[in-house]
Amino acid sequence: MQQMEHDVKNRMMKRLRFVYGDTSSGIFEEIEKIIGAYRGRIPAAKTAWSEKDSFLIAYGDSITGGKNPLSTLHGFLKKNFKDEISFVHLLPFYPYSSDDGFSVIDYREVRKDLGDWNDVKSMGGDFKLVFDGVINHVSSQSRYLKEYLAGNLEYAYYFISLPPDTDTSSVLRTRNLPLLHDYDSAEGKKWLWTTFSRDQVDFNFSNPKVLLEIVDILLFYAAHGATMIRLDAIPYMWKKLGTSCAHLPETHELIKLFRDIFDVSAPHVILLTETNVPHHENIAYFGNAGDEAQIIYNFSLPPLILWSMFKQDATVLSDWASGVKKVSDRTTFLNITATHDGIGVRPTEGILSVDERMELCELARRHGGDITGKKNSDGSISPYELNINYFDAINDPHADESIDLQIRRFMLSQTIPMSFIGIPGIYIHSLLGSRNWTEGVRKTGRARTINREILKSNELEKELGNPGSVRAKVANEYRRLLKIRSGCKAFHPGSPQEVLKLHPKLFCLRRWTEDGSDELFAIHNISSEEVICRLPDSIEGAYRDLLKGEVFKSGEVSVPAWTALWLSSF
């Protein structure tokens, strides 16, 4: 154990030297002090993942009513999904000033209108909790910026101040907003780096004091029950003029440093990076042989599922998925279709053409959604994300068709992430069959609100108690699918995956355990027509569809429209 820790410390020193040069020894000593301060304060836990795991994404106040929102959400999930959901990602529950929580005022407090740390601890008794590390930027109302602007020397280089005429054209932008905003300080006007908005001011990680503060915050989260930490907007952490300021080597080294710190202080804590970028850039956050983030979002999956079901052709999805492989036993994917944000368009770069991406944008608008753009280096604007509820992205809200057909089509889209290598990630509004919340958009004027409806617990329970309601039908089908999935070892996040191209209208995966004890074929008909396909000649014996119980022998298989089969050997 001592030798292992010694090796980790050597890695930490190497990373610090790469980023901070000659000052690395002093920084390392300070990190050791922080780790020592948390020794004995971080609860031991096991978070090894398995086929029984699933991941729910929710705001602390996604469901209101009762004592307070956090206890209400906890009670609701414990009552309705305790056996199906293992990880609960509580989106930022700290005091904030904008961006629905992602402009943090105080990292170490729970919003009083949500509850307190005891409510968080209570939820952690039933679910493995995921906290957000919103560490690229902080609220303009935070103590850090206030002290900086007041001239407190302790905070002198916490932020990046530049002349207003600085050439920042090379910087990758995800917003159609200025990169530099002006603030009044004790020394006069200062223009500070703001990747996302005026209210979200970027930290200056070239200042070791910032790094040390963030290390303390991350370990504070582990001490308060986090078993996974999501690193929000992490590609933009390190800034260097003349570059894109995205995915820089220093950023990767700092994430690896965080991983090393947890390896010696809280080895059960998992790092999840939020990198909504093209696939080849996304998977780089696994690092070298899995020494960086343990989990990354599979951000290409949501738009490609949408595209495939829109075109009723799985060719593009199959071609892309053929290149998605297991990286190591210590890493895996979080497979989603929806989150609190929109459906990313950038992850399709290099997969869909510009015209095809514009088709997706037009589809979203026809189905009642909107588009958020990003500013390019040449000043032009291109699509960044589709702002729409995933149910309504998959289904035309204006179509003259039965709601049961729409539910069937939607649930097929949700079955694909459950079949794919990794862990299924489910947004609460997908789990509960929500639709576009256009009323919310009108209230806030923000496109992302369309997928952030706040539900009242009494009304929600009433709908779930009505077996004929959309919410009940969707939630019950989720329970059924997740229960079946949890009993199939071939769905372990580490089980290998192979794409089978049996028919253009079918998305087919072979999953199997490495010891050969279990094998499964997941076949998804992403079209409105029945498809008859022939299984490969190498497949012998009989297979039972875990979803319907039907038995198939080797040879031809009939797959109904908008239907999935999970064929398991027996």
Tell me what pLDDT residue 262 has: 96
The superfamily (CATH) of domain 497-569 is Golgi alpha-mannosidase II (2.60.40.1180)
Tell me what pLDDT residue 47 has: 73
Sequence-distant (6+) residues with CB within 8 A of 261 are 12, 31, 35, 215, 218, 219
Choose the catalytic residue: 53, 232, 370, 518: 232
Facing residues of 197 across strands? 200
Tell me what pLDDT residue 3 has: 52
How far is it, in rounded angstroms, from Cα 393 to Cα 299?
Answer: 16
pLDDT digits (tens, 9 = 90+) for 275-307: 999 999 999 999 998 899 999 999 999 999 999
pLDDT digits (tens, 9 = 90+) for 113-124: 999 999 999 999
Sequence-distant (6+) residues with CB within 8 A of 20 are 27, 208
Tell me what pLDDT residue 246 has: 97
Tell me what pLDDT residue 556 has: 86
How far is it, in rounded angstroms, from Cα 294 to Cα 333?
Answer: 8
pLDDT digits (tens, 9 = 90+) for 332-375: 999 999 999 999 999 999 999 999 999 999 999 999 999 999 87
Residues of the chain where predicted confidence (pLDDT) is lower than 50: 1-2
How far is it, in rounded angstroms, from Cα 438 to Cα 445?
Answer: 10
232 is catalytic: yes
Residues 490, 512 contacting (CB under 8 angstroms): yes
pTM for the full predicted model: 0.96
How far is it, in rounded angstroms, from Cα 387 to Cα 364?
Answer: 8
Tell me what pLDDT residue 523 has: 98
How far is it, in rounded angstroms, from Cα 38 to Cα 95?
Answer: 23
Tell me what pLDDT residue 555 has: 80
pLDDT digits (tens, 9 = 90+) for 486-495: 999 999 999 9
E strand segments, 365-443: 370-375, 381-387, 423-427
How far is it, in rounded angstroms, from Cα 68 to Cα 114?
Answer: 6
Q: What is the CATH number of domain 55-136+207-491?
A: 3.20.20.80
Domain chopping of the chain, boundaries: 55-136+207-491, 497-569
